[in-house]
Structures are given as C-alpha cells and as structure tokens.
C-alpha cells in the first residue's frame, strides 16, 4: 500500500531564511507527487506537482521540490520565506492508473515564519 | 477558467440532525469530483468520488452518503449527524487528464 510520511509536524523559521520541508513516500512504481498549501480556514492550493522528467520542479510563489527515486523523497524548498508563507503544507501521492484518483496525504507540516 | 464553489461555508449542527453540503464546479464539463474530510488539525481522507452523473463510489464509510444529481454538482449528506462528523469537508475536481486535484474552499462543520 502507498503511504506518505512528513516527519516534521512543525517548523519555525525566521523571515528571509530558507525552508525545507521533507516528504518520503512508499509506492512500488513512480507515483504522481504533489505539494499543497493550506492557509488558515481555507482549502488546499496546489503548489507544484511531479510525475516525470526533470526531478526539480518549480511551483508557485518561488517554491520548488526535488524528486529522488533512490531516496523515495520529494522535498519542498524555498530560498527565502516571507511571513505570508505561514501555513500547513501537505505532501501527497497519487497512484498511476488509479480508479478514482485517490490522493494519499501526509499529516502535514505546520510552518510558522517569525518576523 | 474553472471555478469550484462549496456551500455552506460553515455550519454548527446538533447530533442527530441532518446535513447537506454542496459543491458546484463551473467551466469544466463532465468533471471527476471528489469529497475529502479533514479532522481538525489532521490530514485529509477521501470519502467519495464520482466520474459521471448518477454514479458515486464510496471510499470510506463514515455514515455519510454522496450524490451527483447534475454534471456540475456533488452533494454530501447524512440523515443523522454524529460528533465524529465534525471537521472540514473539501470538494475537489480533477484536472490535467485526471492526475491533479484542485480543491474548493471547504465547509467547516461543528457537531454539538
């Protein structure tokens, strides 16, 4: 069965600092991988996605993620965070040829950016 | 551009009362639609999905039901709410040949 692990429940960083959020997945084939962001009391917004090609994918708001098949990872990064990046970030996996396109989510990482 | 709208934004309901949450998508014909549930502070769990009008598949049994009465509408309901139904309900549609989900703003439910 597929699974997504986000080992860090909370991350606190200072404004202007870099940010890395970790995501490890378990799936026998190459999955579709996603990062979503959830701002307080809002729905999920797609940051970026990966299926094939260049392992480094660029997303919205200067976020990028790097896929590693050997490490089964899909870590999210941002070079310089702003206070508005405070939110919960979810890594998610979708199986190829999945009836119903079931997304498996990690537990999320809550990011607090200090001014 | 596609837009997805959920209603109501929030509800406070009594245990044992009925519930109906709605989701409408515009700008996309014959979309695949999904319901997800998020416990407070928790991760997301898929509840139902629908590929076409009149057809709904259940993924997790939570004493809820779903219906697809129109191509652009997806309804989540129950006749008797439980305390465990509290949480955040998100509707989503599939884009990019079905590989990417785009979510609505959600409906927050508090059962008392």
Q: How does pLDDT run across B15-27, given as a tens digit for each residue?
A: 999 999 999 999 9
Share of chain A above pLDDT 90, in %: 78
Range of the domain at A77: 3-114
Q: Does the structure show a pLDDT above 90 at A48?
A: yes
Cβ-proximal residues to B59 (8 Å cutoff; 6+ apart), any chain: A100, A102, B46, B47, B48, B49
The reported pLDDT for the residue numbered B21 is: 98
pLDDT at residue A63 tops 70: yes
Q: In this complex, do A100 and B43 lie within 8 Å of one another by their Cβ atoms?
A: no
Q: Across residues A50-72, what is the average pLDDT?
A: 95
Question: In the predicted model, what is the mean pLDDT of residues B41-45?
Answer: 88
CATH code where residue A72 lies = 2.60.40.10
A104 CB neighbour count, 10 Å cutoff: 22
**For residues A93 and A72, is the Cβ–Cβ distance under 8 A?**
no
Report pLDDT digits (tens) over A22-44.
Answer: 999 998 887 899 999 999 889 99
Whether the pLDDT of residue B63 is over 80: the answer is: yes
More confident residue, B4 or B95: B4
Q: How far is CA A19 from CA A84, A109, B74, in A?
A: 13, 12, 37
Please tell me the total count of domains within chain A: 1
Lowest-confidence range among A69-83, B10-24, B37-51, B66-80? B37-51
pLDDT at A96 over 70: no
Q: If you search the block for the tokens 């996996």, which residue do you land on?
A: A93
3-class DSSP assignment, residue B83: helix
Q: Is the peptide bond before A48 cis (omega within 30 degrees of 0)?
A: no
Degrees (nearest 5) of the Cα angle B67, A105, A73? 150
Measured in angstroms, the CA of B90 and the nearest CA of chain A are apart by 7
- CA A54 to the chain's CA centroid: 17
Tokens of A92: 């998610």
Residue position matching structure tokens 């050997």: A70
Among A42, A51, A100, beta carbon nearest to B99: A51
**Res. A93 pLDDT band, cuts 50 70 90:** very high
* Per-residue pLDDT at A80: 98
B59 vs A: CB within 8 A:
yes
From first CA to last CA, the distance across chain A in angstroms is 41
Chain B residue numbers touching A46 (CB-CB < 8 A):
100-102
Q: What percent of chain B has pLDDT over 70?
A: 98
- Whether the per-residue pLDDT at B56 is higher than 70: the answer is yes
**Distance, CA of A92 to CA of A98 (rounded, Å):** 14
Neighbour-count burial of A88, counting CB atoms closer than 10 A to its CB (0-12 exposed, 13-18 middle, 19+ buried): buried
Into which CATH architecture does domain B3-111 fall? Sandwich (2.60)
Is B58 part of the contact surface with chain A (CB cutoff 8 Å)? Answer: no
């Amino acid at each position: 069965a597929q699974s997504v692990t986000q080992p860090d429940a909370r991350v606190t960083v200072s404004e202007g600092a870099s940010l890395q959020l970790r995501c490890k997945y378990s799936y026998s084939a190459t999955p579709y991988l996603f990062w979503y962001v959830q701002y307080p009391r809002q729905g999920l917004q797609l940051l970026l996605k990966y299926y094939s090609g260049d392992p480094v994918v660029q997303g919205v708001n200067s976020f990028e993620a790097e896929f590693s098949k050997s490490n089964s990872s899909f870590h999210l990064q941002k070079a310089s965070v702003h206070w508005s990046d405070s939110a919960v970030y979810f890594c998610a996996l979708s199986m190829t040829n999945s009836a119903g396109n079931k997304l498996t989510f990690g537990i999320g990482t809550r990011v607090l950016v200090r001014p | 551009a596609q837009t997805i709208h959920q209603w109501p934004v929030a509800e406070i309901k009594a245990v044992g009362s009925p519930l109906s949450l709605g989701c409408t998508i515009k700008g996309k014909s014959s979309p695949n639609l999904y319901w997800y549930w998020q416990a407070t502070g928790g991760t997301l769990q898929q509840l139902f999905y629908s590929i076409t009008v009149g057809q709904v598949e259940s993924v997790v049994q939570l004493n809820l039901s779903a219906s697809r009465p129109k191509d652009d509408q997806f309804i989540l309901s129950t006749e008797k709410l439980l305390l465990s139904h509290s949480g955040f309900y998100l509707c989503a549609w599939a884009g990019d040949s079905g590989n990417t989900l785009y979510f609505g703003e959600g409906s927050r439910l508090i059962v008392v």
